[in-house]
Structure 1
Amino acid sequence: MIITYKQTDGTVEQVSTNDLSAIESADIEEAMGGTAWRVVEDQLRGQDPTAMRAVLWASRKRAEPTLRFGDVDVPGWRRRLKARLEREEVDDVLENLMAEALAASEDSAIEAMLPHLRKLAENKGDIEAALDALGKGHLVKAPAGSED
């Protein structure tokens, strides 16, 4: 996941969870009351402000080791803070859906997930590339009015 925070001066702070160390991930789990990492990831997909703030905090601690989680606030988080999927995560979701779709010989599971993936993907081209890689390029076209 990529966490993006557009600060009041217009600068953008961006952190990928792929760049976190194991210790930083453990620090996030602890700061969130012992929440397991897989739950943190689910909360990030759900745009949970505490989970997104925790990732920013862990990243900022690299430069400011004494920074406390409670001291990190994100004013206007609803419009300025986002969690987005990276290509690897798009691939994982589509591979799982593909396995389900092949088992049922249908594309409906993939089609049902595409609007959500298009909304969450950091790079919209990743959706097309992942579908092409799965041999499902015919599902690429976004429905009219689905722009973000």
Structure 2
Amino acid sequence: MIIVYTPEGETPQYLNAGRLRTSEIQIIERTADRTWDALRDGLKGADVTAMRTVAWVIKKRSEPALRFGAFDPYEDELAVRLDDDEVRRFAEGLMKVYGDQPEQLADAWDELRDVAFNPETAEAAIEEQTAGPKETGENPASSTPETSTSDSSPTSSTSDLPTSTP
């Protein structure tokens, strides 16, 4: 997951919450007084405590002296977006759940587009899921090498040649 932190009037900061050290997770759990599983679920639901706490720990990588109390963004300055791998997994899941319900699937695709960090990845994942089965161009019946049906022997060059008589 990517936390997008956009302080008013400043350039957005992209904080990758997809790869955290265990020590960072422990700090997040202690600070938020919740388990990592609950916090990760909170990120998925845009829970402000989860977003703030995780964003703070990630920001501490570049600003070690940053205190939790000093990192107090406005609620609308934090948002969570799915990284590329999450987008692909989410698209697969949506297809499994709504594949036979076109109207619900269309709404789900719109939601995926809204939560994807990279819109291009969302479009590619949707395309991949809606394209149907892929053709490989191979004939499954001919997956083994064919046996020669030629009358000539494959070892004719080593066969005894008829000798001519003088």
TM-score bin (small chain): 0.7 to 0.9
Identity %: 33
Question: Residue type matched to 2:108 in 1?
Answer: M
* 1:29 and 2:29 are equivalent in the alignment: yes
User: TM-score if structure 1 supplies the norm length?
Assistant: 0.73
**How far did 1:107 drift?**
4.4
Structure with larger Rg: 2
Question: Residue type matched to 1:133 in 2?
Answer: E
SS in 2 for 1:15: strand
Unmatched segments (≥5 aa) in structure 1 = 139-148
**How far did 1:59 drift?**
1.3
CA distance in 2, matches of 1:8, 1:109: 36
Question: Residue type matched to 2:110 in 1?
Answer: P
* 1:121 and 2:120 are equivalent in the alignment: no
User: TM-score if structure 2 supplies the norm length?
Assistant: 0.66
CA distance in 2, matches of 1:18, 1:112: 26
Question: Residue type matched to 1:86 in 2?
Answer: D
- Report the RMSD for the aligned CA atoms in angstroms: 2.4
SS in 2 for 1:19: coil
**How far did 1:109 drift?**
5.1
CA distance in 2, matches of 1:73, 1:4: 14
**How far did 1:8 drift?**
3.4
Higher RCO (C-alpha under 8 Å, 6+ residues apart): 1
SS in 1 for 2:3: strand
CA distance in 1, matches of 2:126, 2:110: 13
- Pairwise mapping of residues 1-148 of structure 1 onto structure 2 (< 5 A)? 1-33=1-33, 35-74=34-73, 76-78=74-76, 80-101=77-98, 105-107=100-102, 110-134=105-129, 136-137=130-131
Counting matched residue pairs gives 132
